[in-house]
Structure 1
Amino acid sequence: MTAAPLRVGNFSGFYGDRADALREMLTGGEVDVLTGDYLAELTMLILARDRLKDPAAGYARTFLRQLEETLGLAHERGVRIVTNAGGLHPAGLADAVRRLADRLGLPVRVAHVEGDDLTARHPGSLAAHAYLGGFGIAACLRGGADVVVTGRVTDAALVTGPAAAHFDWAPTEYDRLAGAVVAGHVLECGTQATGGNYAFFGERPADVRRPGFPLAEIHADGSSVITKHPGTGGFVDVGTVTAQLLYETGGARYAGPDVTARLDSVRLGQDGPDRVRVEGVRGEAPPPVLKTGINRLGGFRNEVVFVLTGLDVEAKAELVKEQMGDALAKAPPAEVRWELARTDRPDAGTEETASALLRLVVRDPGQEAVGRALSGAAVELALASYPGFHVLAPPGKGSPYGVFEDAYVPQDAVDHVAVLPDGRRVAVRPPHRTRALEDVPGPALPEPLPAGPVRRAPLGLLAGARSGDKGGNANIGVWVRGDDAWRWLAHELTAERLRELLPETRDLPVTRHLLPNLRAVNFVVEGILGEGVAAQARFDPQAKALGEWLRSRHLDIPEVLL
C-alpha cells in the first residue's frame, strides 16, 4: 500500500519571522507537519552571547511564545511540529515545551536531537556546531513525538526527517531523499517561496503585502508540489520556486549530511494556480564529512557616518579623512576603513538628496582603541571641519563583533542522538556509503542567439536574481523565463562580465555554475563578505541585495528579448 503524500508546511524562516504564522498555518488548511527554521550563522552567535549571560538560555524564546497560543490547536488537529529553535540548547527548549504542555494540560510528547555541539573541540570559540541530517528527527517521530526540537541541523533536514519517517525511507534511497532536500530548501526561508523578496513582484496581480507561508506535498518517490494555503497572500509559480532554489547554493551538487542533491536534475512545472511540481531530482551518497560552523569573537568595532552636503563633496571628504587620520594616528586601531556613498544629486530639491555619506569603520582587538579615541576625535571636529559638518549619530564605545568560519569533521566523529519522548537515547549511525564532493563538469552551452539589434537596458528587465551569504562568500543566482533568453544569458553573463558589472567583485575569485533545467546561472563570489555577516565587512553584510544591484546594471540586450 502506497503511503499518502505528506503535507509539510513552514511557519518560520528566521529568528524574528512573523509571530502569528504558526496559527495561520494550523488554521488555514490541511497540513501534517509544520517546520520552523530559526537558525542562521548570525543567529548562532546571538544565541551564544545570550548563553554567556544565562546558561539556561541559548534557544529561540519566541518559539515558546508562539507555541503557548497554538499547542492545543496542533494537538487537536494531529499536526506534528519540528523546529531547530533549540539552537545551542535543544534539551533546554524541549524541557520548556514539556512544562508548557503540562501547564496547558496537554498530553504532548516531546523529543529532541543532540550531538551537534562541538564547541569544546574548538577552544576560543563561542559556538561550534556540526550540521546534522534528518535521521535523528525521523527517529524522534518514529518514537511517537508530537514536537521535535533540534539544534544545528541543515535547514532541509527539518523536511527530510519527517519524509523519511513517513515513507520509511532507507538511508541509501538517495533520489527520494534528494527530492525531499529540494523541497526542504524551497520551504526553509518561509515566504521567499511565495512572492517575498521576489524580483518580479510587480508583474503579478497577487497581493504580496503579506505572503502566505509555503507548504510541500511530498510523495513517496521524493517528488513534491510546492503550494500554500488557499486565500493567503502572495503567489507560487515556477519563478518564485526557482528563486528560492538558487538561494545560498553553489554548484550542481548540493551537499548535505544524508544525501547530495543534484540541482542540475531538478525539473519544475506549473501544476495549477499556486502549485509548482518539483520532480526528477537525483541524489548521490553524501560526503564523508560534516560541515561545522564556528563563531568566534573577532574584536571590537565602531563607526561614524559624516554627512557631506552640497558642493565640493570630494574635497570635504578628503578634509575630514585627513583630520581623523591625524587624530587616530596617536593610537591607531588595527583596521581603518573609509567608504564614500555618493547619494547626493546636483541641484537637489531636499537637503537629504543633496547629501553624500562618508562612513568610517574601525576595528581592533581592544575596545579602548575603537571607543574613546574615535568618539573624541569625531566630536571635536564639530566646529573645525568642512562646512555643514554633522554626523548621523555620535559614535559610541564600540561593540564586539563575531567572525564565522567553516570546518569539517568526519561523519563518524559526531555523536548524533535522538532523545525520545520516554527518555530513551537512540544513536543515529553515520552513513555507510559516502562520496567525496567534486564539481560537476559544466554542461554544454546552448546555441547562441542569432545576432540582431540590441538596446542598452538594465539586466533586470529580462532576468531575475536572488543572492545571499555563506560565511564570507556570497552567491548570486540569475535566471530567465524563456529558452531564447537562456541562450543569450548563458553566453553573455560570464564570470568576467559579472566582474565588469559589479566592480566590488573585480579582484575576487568568481565561479560560475550553469543550471540549464532552471535556465539559471549561479555565481559564487569568494571573500566579498570578509569574515561573515557578524563582521559587517560591507554595506550589505549578508549580500541580500547583491543580485538586485546586478539587475540594475545596464548592458546590451537583444531587442527581440525586450
Structure 2
Amino acid sequence: MTSTQASRPLRIGNASGFYGDRFDAMREMLTGGELDVLTGDYLAELTMLILGRDRLKDPRAGYARTFLRQLEECLGLAHERGVRIVANAGGLNPAGLADAVRQLADRLGTPVRVAHVEGDDLHSRYPDSLAAHAYLGGFGIAACLREGADIVVTGRVTDAALVTGPAAAHFGWGPGDHDRLAGAVVAGHVLECGAQATGGNYAFFDEFRKSGGDLRHPGFPLAELHEDGTCVITKHPGTGGLVDVGTVTAQLLYETAGARYAGPDVTARLDTVRLTQDGPDRVRVEGVRGEAPPPTLKVGVNRLGGFRNEVAFVLTGLDVEAKAALVREQMTDALSKSPPADVRWDLVRTDRADAPTEETASALLRLVVRDRDQETVGRTLSGAAVELALASYPGFHVLAPPGKGSPYGVFEDVYVPHGAVDHVAVLHDGRRIPVPPAPDTAVLDDVPQPPPPDPLPPGPTQHAPLGLVAGARSGDKGGNANVGVWVRTDEAYRWLAHELTVDRFRQLIPESGQLKVARHLLPDLRALNFVVEGVLGEGVAAQHRFDPQAKALGEWLRSRHLDIPETLL
C-alpha cells in the first residue's frame, strides 16, 4: 500500500442487510458509482438458527446460498471494476462457501483470489447447541485483504467488522488505533442494515414523500472513510431514498444500548459522535472516540427450544368478550388431558361498532402454545380447535387451521476470553495466518449519565402523539429490546429529556411495567435510548410476543399521547 492509497478515502458500500435482502442490490451497487469495497451482512441471531437447521439436513450447507447466486451475476463485474467483496455469508460454513466461490469463479473464467476467516465456531464447547459462534472482529478480514484477496467470506463476525477489516487493511491501522477503529465501527453500524440508512423504515418517511422524494426503491448506503476515522455517509447518485442526519441518527440508535458500543476490536463511544449535513444525501460523521475492547468475546448460542403452534379465532360482531371467554374455556378443557407447557392468549380488538365490512367487525383471539413434545402442540391442539367448529360461539371460524407444530429456537449470550478462539485468516493459496487477540482490553464500566439540559419554560400544551415531534427506531438483542428516540431541535430535546423518563416510558409501554428499563442520554444526537430487558423472552426465534423482534415497538411509542408544548408543534 502506497502513501497515496492510504491518504485517499476508502469507499465502502453495502449490498445486504439480512439474508433475504434485495437480490439486485449487489449489481446496483457495482454499477451505480465508484466503490473500493462492497460488503454484505447476511447474518442475524435468527439466521444462525436457520443455517444450523440447514446443516443438520446437509453437512455441506450452512451458508447463505443467495450470496452465491448474486456472485454468479456479478463476480465478473466486480473483477472488472476492481471492487473487493467482503461478506459474512459463510455463516456456519465459511470454508464451504469459499470453496463454492472458487468453483464458481473457475466455471465463469474469472481469476479472483478467495479467502475466508474462521475460528468463530465454538460448538464443541456447547455440544447441546445447534450453533454456537463467537463474534470476531475485523483483523482476520484485514489479513486476507493485505495478502491480496479479492473475495473474503466469514462466519460470525460483528456487523461492523465488515468495515473495520477493510479500513484497517487500507490505512494500515493496528489494534491500538482506537479512535480510528471506533470511527470505522460507527460507519459499519450505519451501513450494516442497508436501506435503513437511506430512508427505509424511517419515522419521518411521509415528510420526505410529500416533499417529492421517492422511497419506492431506496439506494443502498456507502461510506467515504478517511484515514483519521471520520467518514461521510452517502449513496450512489440518482438512487432513491435519502441520507440526512435523521436517517443516520435512526440507524446509529438501532440495536444499541448505552454510550459504549463494545466490540472485539474496539469500544466506540456513541456519546462522542457528531453528525452534520454535508450536502444533499451526505452526512459527515466525526468526533468518534474509541477505547480498548472488553476482555471477553460475545458468543451467540442457539438451541432448539421445542415446538410451537398457534390458532387465531375470528370473533365477529357483538359480544366479543363473551365469545372469547367461551372458546377459551372450551380450549382449556380440551387441552387439560395433555396441557402444553406454555399457553398464551391474546385478544386483539381490531373490530369496530356498526362496521361497514365483516372484516372490520371482527376481532382476533390468538392462542399460542409451546412444548417440548411436538404431538402436544400439533395434533392435540389441531384436534381440539377443529372439533369446536360446530360447538362454540356464533360465527365460529379461524384464520387457518393449526398445523403439526414447528420447532422454535432459544438464543443465549455467553462470553469467553479472547484467547478462547482460534481466529485465523485462510488465504487463497491455503496459507493460514493466526490473528492474535486484542493486546489491550478494558472492563466496561457504566458511563456517567450527562445531566439533562435545562427544561423548557412552562407554557400551553396539546395532548398529542409523541411522533409529531420525535422519531424512533427499535430492535432486538437476544431477549432485550431497545428503543432509540430522537428529536430534531435543541428545544425539543430540552423537553424530551425531562418528559420521557423511565416512569413515563413504563406508562406508555405497559408491558415494560414489571421489567428492567434503562435510559441513556445521548445529547449530541438529541436522543434517548431505552433498553427493556426480557421483553422478548428467549429471543426472536422463540416468538415470545406479537412483534418478536420489537421492530415496531418504537412506532407504538410514537403513537402514544403526551402533553406536548405548543411551541414544538
Question: Distance between the aligned counterparts of 1:192 and 1:336, measured in 2?
Answer: 35
Instruction: Tell me by how many angstroms 1:239 deviates.
Output: 0.1
Is it true that 1:332 corresponds to 2:339 in the alignment?
Answer: yes
Question: Distance between the aligned counterparts of 2:191 and 2:461, measured in 1?
Answer: 38
Out of 462, 468, 474, the residue aligned to residue 461 of structure 1 is 468
Question: Could you say which residue in structure 2 is the equivalent of 1:23?
Answer: 27
Is it true that 1:488 corresponds to 2:495 in the alignment?
Answer: yes
Question: Could you say which residue in structure 1 is the equivalent of 2:73?
Answer: 69
Question: Could you say which residue in structure 1 is the equivalent of 2:417?
Answer: 410
Out of 221, 227, 252, the residue aligned to residue 220 of structure 1 is 227
TM-score, scaled relative to structure 2: 0.98
Question: Distance between the aligned counterparts of 1:106 and 1:305, measured in 2?
Answer: 52
Q: Deviations over 1:73-129 (max 9, x none)?
A: 100000000000000000000000000100111110000000000011102100000
Question: Could you say which residue in structure 2 is the equivalent of 1:231?
Answer: 238
3-state SS, counterpart of residue 12 of structure 1 = coil
Question: Could you say which residue in structure 2 is the equivalent of 1:511?
Answer: 518
One-letter code of the match for 1:39?
Answer: L
Out of 146, 155, 161, the residue aligned to residue 150 of structure 2 is 146
Question: Distance between the aligned counterparts of 1:206 and 1:59, measured in 2?
Answer: 37
Instruction: Tell me by how many angstroms 1:295 deviates.
Output: 0.3
Question: Distance between the aligned counterparts of 2:77 and 2:252, measured in 1?
Answer: 32
Question: Distance between the aligned counterparts of 1:457 and 1:438, measured in 2?
Answer: 38
Question: Distance between the aligned counterparts of 1:539 and 1:308, measured in 2?
Answer: 18
Question: Distance between the aligned counterparts of 1:120 and 1:311, measured in 2?
Answer: 57
Question: Could you say which residue in structure 2 is the equivalent of 1:350?
Answer: 357
3-state SS, counterpart of residue 437 of structure 1 = coil
Question: Distance between the aligned counterparts of 1:328 and 1:191, measured in 2?
Answer: 45
One-letter code of the match for 1:99?
Answer: Q
Is it true that 1:118 corresponds to 2:122 in the alignment?
Answer: yes
Is it true that 1:502 corresponds to 2:505 in the alignment?
Answer: no
Out of 370, 381, 398, the residue aligned to residue 374 of structure 1 is 381
| Unaligned runs of at least 5 residues, structure 2 | none
Question: Distance between the aligned counterparts of 2:135 and 2:445, measured in 1?
Answer: 19
Question: Distance between the aligned counterparts of 1:22 and 1:368, measured in 2?
Answer: 44
Instruction: Tell me by how many angstroms 1:523 deviates.
Output: 0.3
Question: Could you say which residue in structure 1 is the equivalent of 2:97?
Answer: 93
TM-score, scaled relative to structure 1: 1.00
Question: Could you say which residue in structure 2 is the equivalent of 1:44?
Answer: 48
One-letter code of the match for 1:491?
Answer: H
Question: Distance between the aligned counterparts of 1:179 and 1:368, measured in 2?
Answer: 52
| Unaligned runs of at least 5 residues, structure 1 | none
Counterparts of residues 52-201 of structure 1 (less than 5 Å):
52-201=56-205
3-state SS, counterpart of residue 360 of structure 1 = strand
RMSD: 0.5
Is it true that 1:431 corresponds to 2:438 in the alignment?
Answer: yes
Deviates more, 1:545-554 or 1:369-378: 369-378
Question: Distance between the aligned counterparts of 2:385 and 2:74, measured in 1?
Answer: 51
Is it true that 1:399 corresponds to 2:406 in the alignment?
Answer: yes
> Which 4+ runs in 1 deviate beyond 3 A?
none
| Alignment size in residue pairs | 562
Question: Distance between the aligned counterparts of 1:396 and 1:28, measured in 2?
Answer: 45
Question: Distance between the aligned counterparts of 1:95 and 1:558, measured in 2?
Answer: 61
Instruction: Tell me by how many angstroms 1:216 deviates.
Output: 0.0
Question: Distance between the aligned counterparts of 1:51 and 1:170, measured in 2?
Answer: 36
Identity of matched residues, %: 82
Question: Could you say which residue in structure 2 is the equivalent of 1:240?
Answer: 247
One-letter code of the match for 1:389?
Answer: F
Question: Distance between the aligned counterparts of 1:314 and 1:188, measured in 2?
Answer: 45
3-state SS, counterpart of residue 130 of structure 2 = strand
Out of 251, 256, 263, the residue aligned to residue 263 of structure 2 is 256
Deviates more, 1:279-288 or 1:342-351: 342-351
Q: Deviations over 1:253-274 (max 9, x none)?
A: 0000000000000000000000
Instruction: Tell me by how many angstroms 1:439 deviates.
Output: 1.1
Q: Deviations over 1:521-555 (max 9, x none)?
A: 00000000000000000000000000000000001
Q: Deviations over 1:285-330 (max 9, x none)?
A: 0000000000000001011100000110000000000000110001
Question: Distance between the aligned counterparts of 2:406 and 2:24, measured in 1?
Answer: 33
Question: Could you say which residue in structure 2 is the equivalent of 1:309?
Answer: 316
Q: Deviations over 1:359-416 (max 9, x none)?
A: 0011111101111111111001000000000000001111110000000000111100
Counterparts of residues 251-290 of structure 1 (less than 5 Å):
251-290=258-297
